[in-house]
Amino acid sequence: MFRRICPSQLSKMTPARICIIKPSALGDVVQTLPLLPVFKARFPEAEISWVISRELTDLVAGHPCVHDTIPFDRKGGWRDWSQLLSTLKSRRFEMVFDLQGLLRTAVMTFATRAPVRIGLQTAREGSSLSTNCVIPDTSKSVPAHARIWRVAEVLGLGESPKETLITVSKADEEWAEKFLAPLPRPITAVHPGAGWETKRWPVEQFSQLLDRGTQAWRGATIILGSRGERSHAEHLKQLMSDGAWRHSTTIRTPIVNLAGQTTIKQLAVLLARVDLVVSNDSGPMHLAAGLGTPTLGLFTCTSAARSGPAGSQHELVSTTVPCAASYCKRCPQRGEKHMACLTELNVDRVWQGMERLVAKNEIQPNQETHAA
């Protein structure tokens, strides 16, 4: 048995090597990024490593507060796992933060043999057994962004600014500038996809919403997503281009489908430079919000209060069905109630949220007329 550590002791320690274990997902990693300057400020001499899913390593690569990343292959075989665990043991970490709290991250945490292993109260699958220090006030009832920030508070740096820093290359910046330059402002980036089917607001409703935005503000629309979401994004573009929901006016502006065509750092550059973002509860939503871009988040099976981003510049709209915020990946309802959350969150209510977002961020309409 290893000795228990009181959270108040952490700020007095001077570890030489720290490991952050937060492999996924995109939104969770984004919400963890602001902790990096906190760790560096509290432990300035420490080398900070991050265990992260291989497909997300670029999100952290190059960060001035990170010494290196340790890639994790979720679908890797026993050889990959053996190599990862061997690496974690050999690095002789003195302090480990398991901020994921699952069985697989518990195995990673245990493999480090670190004398100080910190976890959260949301730990599941027995993962708490691998830690000897638990950050208080980090239960599920605490919003995710606040739960992660409790680490900063325990370290005595809770008043520090929350900075989502992603280091990008000059080439990526030039690419984004060249791509966005000819598009009429305001530019709306939309992410109509999500990992769970219960999070995906229908593309038909996205089309109606974005068409209203086109009529009101005369800006361009960029559709974003992963390679696997390409056809979903193309369906949305086709609906908008066909004018199936178009008003009687003839205003038309560019619609570009970039799903599956950007690296994660190019995605970050774009989201930081557009005027507003409309998204389901997903990683790109958190990335946009973390970068400070006004974001309209749509919540059906998840809770805006628990899972939404922080920041008064954003707008979060939610369904009001009885089973809202159930966190079910598949709808448990049958018959007329099946997936009712997606349609109950109607276009009118989401449009009102979009109008509030535009108004409070003082986003101005394009004065040019784009005729069909």
Q: What is the pLDDT of residue 244?
A: 46
User: Is it the case that residue 122 has pLDDT exceeding 60?
Assistant: yes
Q: What is the pLDDT of residue 250?
A: 56
CA dist 112 to 93, 94, 130, Å? 6, 9, 10
Q: What is the pLDDT of residue 44?
A: 97
**Residue 371 three-state SS:** strand
Two tokens at 13?
């320690």
Q: What is the pLDDT of residue 251?
A: 66
Between 371 and 362, the more confident residue is 362
CATH class entry, domain 170-360:
alpha beta
The CATH homologous superfamily to which domain 7-154 belongs is Glycogen Phosphorylase B; (3.40.50.2000)
Strand intervals (E) in the chain? 17-21, 47-53, 68-72, 95-98, 116-120, 133-135, 188-191, 221-223, 255-257, 276-280, 295-299, 315-318
pTM: 0.94
Express each pLDDT in 292-305 by its tens digit: 999 999 999 999 99
The phi, psi pair for 135, rounded to 5°, reads: -70, 125
List the chain domain ranges.
7-154, 170-360
Q: How far apart are CA 124 and CA 281, in angstroms?
A: 22
Express each pLDDT in 258-278 by its tens digit: 999 999 999 999 999 999 999
Q: What is the pLDDT of residue 372?
A: 43
Two domains, one topology: 7-154 and 170-360: yes
